[in-house]
Amino acid sequence: MIKKLLFRWLPALIVMVLIFFLSAMPGKSVAVSTNPITKPLAIVEHKSSLFSGLSPIPWLKVGHFVGYSVLGLTLFRGFSLSGLDNEFYPTIISFLYACSDELHQNFVAGRSGSFSDVLLDTSAAFIAVLLFVYLRQTAKLIFHQEAFKKSE
């Protein structure tokens, strides 16, 4: 029983712990050029601003989008393995976690919570899950068409 629960939910819990760890970093540590995790991005951001007329890439927002996309997918996996193959459950949990994450950031030095980040995080989880469901359905259709052609 415990092994099944861990198999279903451990990936989502690991992502949640990682998001919490990154959210607990003080504001100055999050700056792209000083954080060892994001320091390589400072070079890319600097080079991306060299192109005339283009604004620098908002790496922190990209990080939000990627992190919560992965969270949405791992939650979807957990729910699917539990027999609840629904894209709304992972979205709701991602929304609630994003709310708690932004609330948590209000208590971290140099950080503040933002409802726009909650919307970005929730959207990222929902889009990732919808894209996965769409690709899975498309793959099933292609596989079934190929199997049908072979049976003729």
Chain-centroid distance, C-alpha 97 = 11
Indicate if the pLDDT at residue 143 is higher than 90: no
pLDDT at 110: 84
CA triplet 143, 149, 151: central angle to 5 degrees? 105
The pTM for the full model equals: 0.78
Indicate if the pLDDT at residue 136 is higher than 70: yes
For residue 86 the two structure tokens come to 């629904």
What range defines the domain where residue 28 resides?
A: 2-151
Binned at pLDDT 50, 70 and 90, residue 30 comes out as: low
Q: What percent of the chain has pLDDT over 70?
A: 75
**Which residue would you say has higher pLDDT here, 85 or 12?**
12
Is 117 within 8 Å of 102 (Cβ atoms)? Answer: yes
**How many Å apart are CA 35 and CA 41, to the nearest integer?**
10
pLDDT at 20: 94
Is 81 within 8 Å of 7 (Cβ atoms)? Answer: yes
Taking residue 84's Cβ as centre, other Cβ atoms within 10 Å add up to: 12
Mean pLDDT of 33-59: 54
pLDDT at 134: 94
Q: Give the count of domains, the chain.
A: 1
pLDDT at 95: 98
Mean pLDDT of 66-85: 94
Taking residue 124's Cβ as centre, other Cβ atoms within 10 Å add up to: 23
Is 75 within 8 Å of 94 (Cβ atoms)? Answer: yes
Q: What is the DSSP letter of 31?
A: S
Binned at pLDDT 50, 70 and 90, residue 55 comes out as: low
